[in-house]
């Protein structure tokens, strides 16, 4: 049990103690006066009436109620987890969708979070050539929307990092590919889903696997805006496939949302103008591997039903149950019980 305002006990205890001392002192003086007057000794021994002590107990309980007692009780809740993974790589600064791909992704992601029921904990992962959990999964959807709103364009792209970091947020432990690129065994998490917003351009380095070489940024006619060379892109594809396999084995569906156009646009990175276009095939492959589905950003509203496909898990957390009302009611009963003997003995209320 805890108290929200324990300092209120101090004046309450002082008042109760003062009343008890006053009652005892008064009784002693009364006995002394009666004895001096020659009244029967038995009558002189009479102290404060039971009604007084009941009333005093009522005041003490009322003081305790004012301190705000609360009990910590376990509360069961059916919950699922959705990780919103948003691509913040350089290519997401392209303007083939208005105003930019990233702004369009943020708008769609925020709308998706707002549509989720309270039974879904939402986390946010921002990814480029690395990935970072910017908001741990929780029922605070407003905080998730704020985390999405703060995202800025930077770096290259690693879809494998996006998936692995999302799995880390779901499981609560770091998830990495093996040195040989094999997918780790992380258990079964059918209560979780990843919603990945990206243009699908994958120039990652192998996502912690040790299997991929880093792609070099190219100018002119070399490569895409996220810097994948031929070898690097191949390694990135292998790492992405392995990461998707890890999600599939864990029962985690990845819903992919394509942001951008297949016609593409150009973006300026470090003084170079680079071509970038939506790679729907990569995003479709991720979704297909994990049992999810691909959605163009223009149809992102279809994601509103994602929560209904999640197998909710039963979780238990502790909440404070206020007890002030119960203690107040008990105090009133004690005060009433203390008043009854006085009324019966004297025939009057006051």
Return d(Cα 91, Cα 107) in angstroms, integer: 17
What's the CATH number of domain 75-313, 3.20.20.10, 1.20.1440.230, 3.40.50.410, 3.30.1330.30? 3.40.50.410
Q: What is the pLDDT of residue 282?
A: 94
DSSP for 273-319, written as a single string: EEEE---HHHHHHHHHHHT--EEEGGGGGGGGGGGGGS-PEEEEEEE
| pLDDT (tens place) for every residue of the chain, 350 residues total | 788 888 888 888 888 888 888 878 877 777 777 677 766 555 544 556 777 788 888 888 888 888 888 888 887 666 789 999 999 999 999 999 889 999 999 998 998 898 888 888 999 999 988 889 999 998 899 999 999 999 998 888 899 999 999 999 999 999 998 888 788 889 999 889 999 999 998 876 545 543 333 333 333 333 445 543 333 344 778 889 999 999 999 999 999 999 999 999 998 888 888 899 999 999 999 999 999 999 887 766 666 656 555 565 666 667 888 888 888 998 888 888 877 776 776 655 55
Q: What is the pLDDT of residue 180?
A: 81
Count CB atoms within 10 A of the CB of residue 3: 16
> CA distances (Å), 213 to each of 236, 238, 250, 345, in order?
8, 11, 27, 95
Structure tokens at 19: 């009343």
Return d(Cα 236, Cα 308) in angstroms, integer: 32
Q: What is the pLDDT of residue 299?
A: 67
Q: What is the pLDDT of residue 205?
A: 53
Contact 310, 191 (CB under 8 A): yes
Q: What b-and-e string marks burial along 47-78, b requiring 16 or more CB atoms within 10 Å of the CB? A: ebbebbbbbbbbbbbbbbbbbbbbeeeeeeee
Indicate the pTM of the whole model: 0.64
Return d(Cα 51, Cα 65) in angstroms, integer: 21
Q: What is the pLDDT of residue 144?
A: 94
Q: What is the pLDDT of residue 232?
A: 38
Q: What is the pLDDT of residue 126?
A: 95
Q: What is the pLDDT of residue 211?
A: 36
Q: What is the pLDDT of residue 348?
A: 58
Q: What is the pLDDT of residue 237?
A: 80
Q: Could you state, in order of their start, the residue ranges of all structural domains in the chain?
A: 2-68+323-346, 75-313
């Amino acid at each position: 049990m805890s108290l929200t305002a324990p300092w209120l006990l101090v004046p309450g205890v002082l008042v109760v103690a003062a009343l008890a001392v006053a009652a005892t002192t008064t009784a002693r003086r009364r006995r002394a006066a009666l004895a001096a007057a020659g009244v029967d000794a038995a009558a002189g021994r009479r102290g404060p009436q039971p009604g007084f002590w009941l009333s005093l107990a009522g005041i003490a309980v009322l003081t305790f109620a004012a301190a705000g007692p609360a009990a910590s009780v376990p509360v069961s809740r059916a919950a699922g987890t959705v990780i919103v993974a948003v691509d913040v790589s350089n290519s997401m600064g392209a303007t083939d969708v208005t105003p930019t791909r990233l702004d369009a992704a943020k708008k769609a992601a925020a709308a998706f979070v707002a549509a989720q029921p309270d039974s879904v904990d939402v986390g946010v992962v921002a990814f480029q050539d690395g990935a970072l959990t910017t908001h741990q999964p929780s029922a605070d959807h407003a905080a998730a929307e704020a985390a999405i709103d703060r995202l800025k364009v930077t770096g290259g792209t690693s879809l494998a990092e996006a998936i692995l970091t999302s799995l880390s947020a779901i499981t609560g432990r770091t998830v990495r590919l093996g040195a040989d690129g094999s997918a780790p065994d992380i258990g079964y998490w059918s209560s979780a889903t990843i919603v990945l917003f990206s243009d699908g351009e994958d120039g990652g380095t192998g996502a912690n696997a040790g299997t991929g070489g880093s792609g070099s940024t190219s100018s002119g006619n070399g490569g895409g805006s996220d810097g994948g060379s031929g070898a690097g892109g191949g390694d990135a594809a292998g790492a992405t496939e392995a990461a998707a396999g890890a999600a599939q084995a864990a029962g985690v569906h990845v819903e992919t949302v394509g942001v951008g156009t297949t016609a593409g646009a150009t973006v300026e990175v470090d003084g170079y103008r680079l071509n970038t276009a939506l790679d729907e095939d990569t995003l479709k492959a991720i979704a297909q591997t994990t049992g999810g589905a691909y959605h163009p950003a223009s149809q992102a509203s279809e994601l509103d039903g994602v929560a209904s496909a999640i197998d909710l898990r039963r979780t238990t957390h502790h909440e404070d149950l206020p007890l002030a009302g119960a203690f107040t009611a008990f105090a009133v009963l004690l005060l009433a019980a203390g008043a009854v003997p006085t009324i019966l003995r004297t025939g009057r209320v006051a």
